[in-house]
Amino acid sequence: MEKTSTGKHAQPGHKDGDRTISLIEDLYARSKKNVLILNPDYLDDDKLPEGERTEVLKEIFNRRIRERQLKRIAQHLTSILDGGQPPAALVYGPTGSGKTVSLLHLLSSFQKVCQARNVPFRYFYVDLTSPKTYFGALNKVALALDGSTRRYRKGIPIEYMQERIAEAASQHPGTLCLLIDEADNIRPNPDAFLTFLGKTLPRKTSCRLVLIMLTNRLDWEKALDPRILSFLKKTDFIFEPYDALDLYEILKLRVEKALDTNKVEEGALRKIAAYASRETGDARKAVELLVKAAKVAEDTTGRLTQREVDTAAETLEVDKTEELIRALAAQQRLVLIACYVALRRGRSKVSTGQVYEVYNELCRSQRVKPLTERRVSDMISFLDLYGLINAPMVSRGRYGQTREIASSLRSEIVERLLQGVDE
């Protein structure tokens, strides 16, 4: 076997088959030229090794993002250094506002400070994003505390679990901090879990316990038993969503780490930040958009400009609506299809009655029991609400009042929606 993939360009017209070889070389060279993502790991938090991750975090916080919140929480914790015990903390903030990240960063820094001053302090992270039951939550806590990976089997009495947790907690001298992510995620009886953490556990264990709970629901504490609130004696912290400036900084850092910086225009970043802050202020969403835009750029010009951002935002939009459509109930989708079939046949506007006729036909051809016009009319207003159609009410005087249903989707989506539907 001869090695053909040298770094140099193959000279054309060398041997038979060189055409193909040079074609491949050519394509390869071109894709090399457009390469923009140098280090994809930095665009995906899960893929980053632990050490790198904390490095990145440090840099983020060095840029004075979330400084106010960090300061407040740090202040809240300082009494630990004097051997005090701060009350439980409740941290509110929407998804992607950096609650978890900030707290992890802060606690690890705090731990270092404690180490330097010989104050015994440890923290544990309990992630309740997935599990839901009281038992599952206890399990997570137990796992975090005793460090092993084994799951406690089901069927073990809950008292035993509590016993184990208390035991493990007692192993740690000094202050023990539990960081509970998505603390509102316990389904049947969140009260029991919190009662245990806030009331039972501190009594059973020798160490001082500090609870920090994260949630994205502002009304969470209203759903709680007031008695729990009283013995938690909690302090509130609020993380408001990132604004465009914060997002811009975060994005810039990512770009420096992951992309070829001189192929990225500043305006593009500003645009992404603006998009994301207008939508939700979710940093993850912003990075997601950045990744998408970078990929678009790689496939086309190799530069990341505002245009690439726009197309990326567009495709993201399309993905979102298609996902929405896929998630619709069967009947709702039928009505939606009926709307667009009717629109295709008739003019740019159709009435409820027309849609209902088409819908009936569709039902007959698909052997589905049709619903009443009343119901369909409700669904039309539902679809309107979700922006899948445009259906304002108009009065046509003598000819009654109806909804004037018009399209509000891109033709490509409609095309895909109507695939497999005849006429």
Interface with DNA (CB under 7 A): 331, 351-354, 369-375, 377, 380-381, 393, 395-403
Tell me if 257 sits within 8 A of 56, measured CB to CB.
yes
- Total residue length of the chain: 423
Q: How far is the CB of 354 from DNA (least distance, A)?
A: 6
Our CA angle for 217, 222, 227, nearest 5°, is 130
Widest distance between CA atoms in the chain: 86
Q: How far is the CB of 372 from DNA (least distance, A)?
A: 4
210 Cβ partners below 8 Å, 6+ apart? 77, 80, 85, 86, 88, 89, 175, 176, 177, 178
Nearer to DNA, 227 or 396 (CB): 396
Q: How far is the CB of 158 from DNA (least distance, A)?
A: 20
Q: How far is the CB of 366 from DNA (least distance, A)?
A: 15
Nearer to DNA, 211 or 350 (CB): 350
Q: How far apart are CA 21 and CA 175, in angstroms?
A: 66
Nearer to DNA, 9 or 187 (CB): 187
Q: How far is the CB of 323 from DNA (least distance, A)?
A: 19
Cα dihedral angle (73, 76, 78, 79), rounded to 10 degrees? -160
Nearer to DNA, 194 or 380 (CB): 380
Q: How far is the CB of 193 from DNA (least distance, A)?
A: 22
Q: How far apart are CA 358 and CA 54, in angstroms?
A: 58
- 3 state DSSP class of 124: strand
Nearer to DNA, 272 or 342 (CB): 342
Q: How far apart are CA 191 and CA 362, in angstroms?
A: 50
Nearer to DNA, 139 or 377 (CB): 377
| Rounded alpha-carbon distances, angstroms, from residue 23 to 9, 27, 35 | 10, 6, 18
**Amino acid identity, residue 295?**
K
349 Cβ partners below 8 Å, 6+ apart? 404, 405, 406
Q: In terms of DSSP bridges, do strands 393-395 and 175-181 run parallel, antiparallel, or are they unpaired? A: unpaired
Q: How far is the CB of 338 from DNA (least distance, A)?
A: 13
Nearer to DNA, 215 or 402 (CB): 402
Nearer to DNA, 51 or 400 (CB): 400
196 Cβ partners below 8 Å, 6+ apart? 138, 162
Q: How far apart are CA 86 and CA 96, in angstroms?
A: 27
Q: 93, exposed or middle or buried, with CB in 10 Å at 0-12, 13-18, 19+?
A: buried
Residue with tokens 């001053």: 117
Tell me if 283 sits within 8 A of 291, measured CB to CB.
no
Q: How far is the CB of 223 from DNA (least distance, A)?
A: 17
Q: How far apart are CA 21 and CA 40, in angstroms?
A: 29
Give the phi and the psi of residue 37 in degrees, each rounded to 5: -90, 110
Nearer to DNA, 224 or 328 (CB): 328
Nearer to DNA, 156 or 393 (CB): 393
Q: How far is the CB of 405 from DNA (least distance, A)?
A: 9
Q: How far is the CB of 359 from DNA (least distance, A)?
A: 11
Nearer to DNA, 287 or 380 (CB): 380
Q: How far is the CB of 182 from DNA (least distance, A)?
A: 24
